[in-house]
């Protein structure tokens, strides 16, 4: 038996090495295809592993809100509602994580060092029953039960205290202090949680507003839909509100479900994972089909070998076994090279998918790879083995060999499949590129270039904040407070403008690239009925239109002291969007300038705003989302945080350093965080850019490997027809006529492939484009461009073969 296997191996090696070009192309194609599958499988397994390690993960759900009118989903809800969930049948327990940086001062001082607490969450006392958070030292339950106590992650503790023990250390935040009572292991990457510090949620459990992530543990027999209905009914009655529905999101789905703005960290995507798997399978199919095609094309060369083996007693089963062993051997060798390729390109793949994967091919993973290669080797080698072993001995040895129509039809079907896939991915790549280019070219009607912003600033340092309106805590009367504020505000912005490279500055209580913090209802303009819809509201300061790059169509910018909010008279100046002018029925934007508006604003039941300017509507955050028309008010904010936007001549380290030196002591903002608005805008489309790079990478691989397979097949076909080509050359055939002879079949196949794939590609791409409010239209020109690219590559590949064949003298070929 062993000698038989050795004989098979020798025969297989001779057969494979007889055509070294065929072997090399096959080997490279299979190795790249298997390597891609290995990387994608590692990525898929990582994405599917998120949050599975938490106790009772399958029974934990996050409470979500859905605004029915706008169809907007919110992953955060009111902490106050948590206590009522236990009254709903099927709910065994409930827990919450309240976003801490909205509640406490995160800038802390320790022994003269100023640092910022990152990713602070106020957790309920039972949060450790919901999530696997491992204690390294101390007692985390103290931080979750006692005020003024805090627990830090291992990395945060190291950042604050180095190699010293964190336990008992005190962090001072203004007039408050936190004592470290516990340190926990950094949470693994494969969780939707992003917690670096924990405090108790007790002081905040009665707060209203979307401040917390609420989780519930359901019993084994609970009906998820019924619990969702019960929560909606209960909360509607409790808050006496309508238009909001509650639903439950499984913990294991959070990572791959569509990302929402307020998520702890950017999640994954079902689409990207599914697409990656499909593309890797298509890639491995293509290289396998190329191998099948070349094996069938080489069948004639092995006919004599089959005939002789049958004559000396070989059975068909033995022949099939031999050919399958050759196929499996080739796949196993390709698998070894594939592992090396996967390890070599792992870092590049991590950059492509935005993850940090580790690939260990020794052990259980290696066994999976071996089994996968054997399976593919048998699958792709089975038909050629059956086909070749079926040759009639007498006809083969007499030279009368007819390959039959089945093999020809199969080869053409495979070629059509390859062409269709190649064209489909070229179309997808072109449309993805066009859509993303279109998004980047859309006018947002505000400027991002040369704009930087100082984030997470105390709003009372930049605005006459709502806290001033309750003058109980201040010795000075409100009038004096306002004069003091105006003087210090003017001085701050005048000093900023003196910095070389700073062209202007204005405060904001929102982030144009991310979100608003406030909205207004019951907005009325002099002589106009109340507007029915909600408007976004943003607080700004002097020169807001210039600094933010707003496009004023009428009126002026904020530049007078009288524009600022007056808490005594409850008056301020406002800028309104052009769409509001149209809704109000004014003949022109100029007609709205000078009119007065009335609206409730935060703690104030009603304020009066004088319209001093009209600007073109801006597009807030992502183009995928509907945004409210936005009103800008001068100096009035009731948000919990504020930013400072600066217009700079150039965003460089020198300007940032000078801004930091001026603002840190003036704003008591240690450390200062400065961001680029241009970068923040690009992050909005990170997921779509990742998808684009993924499709482009796979399209390149698919077209390249299809070309390699085509090259090998055409090279072999040309070698089989070398005498015919030599005779045609003797009779005067040109290089072009030979090219047409070999290429016309493949051009027709490409056209058939386009006709098959076009409706499928159109449907899939149309579904993806439908998620955008602004989008490109699919053009017939793109589909023709795609087939032109594929045909050009095909003809160029065949031309390379024809050029080589035509260089051989006919006499050298025909003398045999």
113-146 per-residue burial string, b: 16 or more CB within 10 A, e: under 16? eebbbbbbbbbbeebbebbebeebbbebbebbee
Pairing of strands 571-577, 630-634: antiparallel
> What pLDDT is recorded for position 70?
62
**pLDDT (mean) for 222-234:** 87
- At CA 789, angle to CA 788 and CA 793, rounded to 5? 115
**Is 2 a residue whose pLDDT tops 60?**
no
Apex CA 480: angle with CA 474 and CA 485, to 5°? 85
- Cα–Cα distance measured from residue 677 to residue 451, given in angstroms and rounded to the nearest whole number: 6
- CA dist 372 and 744 (Å) reads 37
Output the pLDDT for position 3.
62
Tokens of 285: 């199919």
Q: What is the pLDDT of residue 157?
A: 92
**Structure confidence at residue 770 (pLDDT):** 79
Per the DSSP assignment, residues forming a β-bridge with 215 are 62, 95
pLDDT (tens digit, 9 = 90+) per residue, 651-686? Answer: 888 888 888 888 888 777 667 788 888 888 877 777
| Span 239-262, pLDDT tens digits | 666 678 888 999 999 998 887 778
CB atoms within 10 A of CB 313: 7
Distance CA 408, CA 440 (A): 48
Residues with Cβ within 8 Å of residue 183, at least 6 apart in sequence: 135, 136, 137, 138, 151, 152, 153, 154, 157, 166, 167
pLDDT, residue 470, reads 47
In angstroms, the CA 289 to CA 283 distance is 10
The tokens describing 43, both together, are 């990525």
pLDDT in tens, 760-803: 888 888 887 877 777 888 888 888 888 888 888 888 888 887 77
Output the DSSP codes for 345-403: THHHHHHHHT-------SSHHHHHHHHHHHHHHHHHHHHHHHHHHT--HHHHHTT----
Close Cβ partners of 278 (under 8 Å, ≥ 6 residues apart): none
Res 724: pLDDT: 78
Distance CA 380, CA 288 (A): 6
**What is the average per-residue pLDDT within 424-450?**
80
Task: Check if the beta carbon of residue 385 is closer than 8 Å to that of residue 343.
Answer: no
CA 121 – CA 104 distance, rounded (Å): 10
At 472, is the pLDDT very low, low, confident or very high (cuts 50, 70, 90)?
very low
What does the alpha-carbon distance between residue 141 and residue 146 come to, in Å, rounded to a whole number? 8
Q: Is residue 520 within 8 Å of 599, Cβ to Cβ? A: yes
Q: Give the whole-angstrom CA distance, residue 465 versus residue 639.
A: 8
Domain limits of the chain? 2-44+270-437+687-814, 59-253, 459-668
Cα(138)–Cα(518) distance, rounded to whole angstroms?
A: 40
Residue 454 has pLDDT above 80, yes or no: yes
φ/ψ of 631, rounded to 5, equals -110, 140
- Within 10 angstroms of residue 364's Cβ, the number of other Cβ atoms is 8
Calpha distance 669→178 (Å, rounded): 18
CA end-to-end distance (rounded Å), the chain: 41
Bridge partner list, 631 = 537
* Four-residue CA torsion sign, 339, 344, 350, 356: positive
Q: Is the peptide bond before 671 cis (omega within 30 degrees of 0)?
A: yes
pTM here?
A: 0.73
**What percent of the chain is modeled with pLDDT above 90?**
14
* H or E, element range at 419: helix 405-441
Tokens of 155: 């990395």
């Amino acid at each position: 038996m062993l000698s038989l296997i050795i004989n098979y191996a020798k025969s297989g090696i001779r057969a494979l090495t007889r055509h070294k070009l065929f072997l090399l192309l096959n080997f490279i194609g299979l190795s790249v295809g298997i390597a891609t599958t290995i990387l994608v499988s590692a990525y898929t397994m990582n994405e599917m592993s998120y949050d599975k390690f938490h106790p009772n993960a399958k029974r934990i759900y996050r409470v979500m809100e859905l605004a029915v009118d706008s169809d907007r989903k919110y992953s955060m809800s009111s902490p106050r509602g948590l206590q009522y969930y236990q009254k709903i049948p099927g709910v065994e327990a409930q827990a919450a994580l309240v976003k801490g940086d909205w509640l406490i001062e995160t800038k802390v001082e320790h022994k003269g060092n100023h640092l910022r607490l990152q990713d602070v969450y106020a957790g309920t006392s039972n949060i450790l029953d919901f999530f696997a958070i491992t204690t390294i030292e101390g007692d985390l339950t103290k931080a979750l039960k006692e005020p003024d106590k805090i627990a830090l992650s291992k990395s945060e503790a190291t950042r604050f205290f180095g190699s010293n023990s964190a336990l008992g250390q005190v962090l001072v935040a203004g007039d408050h202090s936190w004592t470290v009572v516990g340190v926990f292991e950094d949470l693994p990457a494969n969780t939707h949680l992003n917690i670096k510090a924990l405090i108790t949620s007790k002081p905040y459990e009665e707060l209203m507003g979307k401040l917390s992530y609420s989780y519930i543990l359901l019993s084994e027999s609970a009906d998820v839909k019924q619990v969702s209905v019960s929560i909606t009914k209960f909360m509607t009655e409790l808050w006496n509100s309508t238009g909001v529905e509650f639903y439950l999101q499984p913990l294991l789905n959070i990572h791959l479900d569509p990302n929402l703005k307020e998520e702890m960290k950017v999640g994954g995507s079902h689409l990207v994972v599914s697409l990656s798997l499909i593309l890797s399978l298509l890639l491995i199919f293509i290289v396998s089909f190329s191998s099948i095609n070349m094996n069938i094309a080489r069948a004639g060369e092995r006919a004599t070998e089959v005939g002789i083996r049958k004559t000396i007693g070989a059975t068909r089963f033995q022949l099939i076994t031999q050919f399958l062993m050759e196929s499996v051997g080739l796949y196993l060798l390709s698998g070894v090279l594939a592992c090396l390729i996967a390890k070599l390109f792992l870092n590049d793949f991590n950059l492509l998918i935005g993850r940090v994967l580790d690939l260990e091919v020794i052990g259980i993973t290696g066994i999976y790879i071996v089994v996968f290669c054997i399976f593919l080797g048998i699958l792709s080698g089975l038909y050629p083995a059956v086909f070749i072993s079926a040759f009639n001995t007498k006809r083969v040895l007499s030279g009368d060999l007819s390959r039959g129509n089945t093999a020809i039809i199969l080869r053409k079907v495979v070629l059509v499949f390859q062409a269709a896939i190649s064209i489909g991915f070229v179309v997808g790549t072109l449309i993805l590129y066009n859509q993303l280019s279109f998004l980047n070219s859309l006018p947002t009607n505000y400027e991002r270039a040369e704009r930087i912003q100082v984030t997470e600033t105390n709003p009372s340092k930049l605005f006459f904040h709502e806290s001033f309106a309750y003058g109980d805590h201040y010795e000075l009367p409100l009038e004096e407070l306002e004069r003091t504020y105006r003087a210090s505000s003017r001085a701050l912005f005048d000093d900023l403008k003196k910095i070389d490279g700073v062209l202007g500055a204005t405060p904001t209580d929102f982030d144009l690239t991310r979100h608003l913090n406030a909205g207004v209802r019951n907005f009325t303009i002099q002589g106009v009925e109340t507007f029915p819809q909600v408007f976004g509201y943003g607080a700004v300061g002097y020169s807001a239109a210039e600094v933010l790059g707003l496009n004023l169509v009428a009126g002026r910018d904020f530049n007078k002291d009288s524009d600022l909010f007056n808490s005594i008279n409850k008056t301020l100046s406002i800028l309104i969007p052009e769409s509001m002018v149209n809704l109000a029925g004014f003949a022109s934007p100029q007609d709205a300038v000078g009119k007065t508006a009335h609206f409730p604003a935060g703690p104030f039941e009603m304020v009066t705003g004088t319209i001093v300017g009209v600007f073109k509507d801006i597009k807030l955050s992502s183009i995928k989302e509907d945004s409210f028309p936005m009103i800008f008010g001068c100096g009035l904010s009731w948000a919990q945080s504020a930013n400072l936007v600066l217009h700079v001549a150039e965003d460089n380290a020198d300007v940032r350093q000078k801004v930091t030196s001026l603002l840190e002591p003036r704003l008591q903002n240690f450390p200062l965080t400065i961001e680029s608005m241009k970068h923040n805008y690009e992050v909005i489309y990170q997921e779509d850019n990742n998808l684009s790079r993924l499709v482009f990478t796979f399209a390149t691989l698919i077209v390249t490997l299809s070309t390699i397979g085509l090259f090998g097949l055409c090279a072999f076909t040309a070698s089989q027809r070398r005498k015919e080509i030599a005779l045609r050359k003797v009779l005067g055939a040109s290089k072009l006529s030979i090219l047409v002879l070999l290429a016309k079949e493949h051009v027709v196949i490409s056209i058939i492939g386009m006709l098959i794939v076009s409706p499928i590609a159109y449907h899939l791409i149309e579904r993806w484009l439908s998620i955008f409010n602004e989008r490109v239209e699919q053009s017939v020109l793109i589909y023709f461009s795609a087939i032109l690219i594929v045909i050009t590559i095909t003809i160029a590949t065949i031309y390379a073969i024809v050029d080589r064949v035509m260089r051989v003298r006919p006499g050298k070929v025909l003398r045999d």
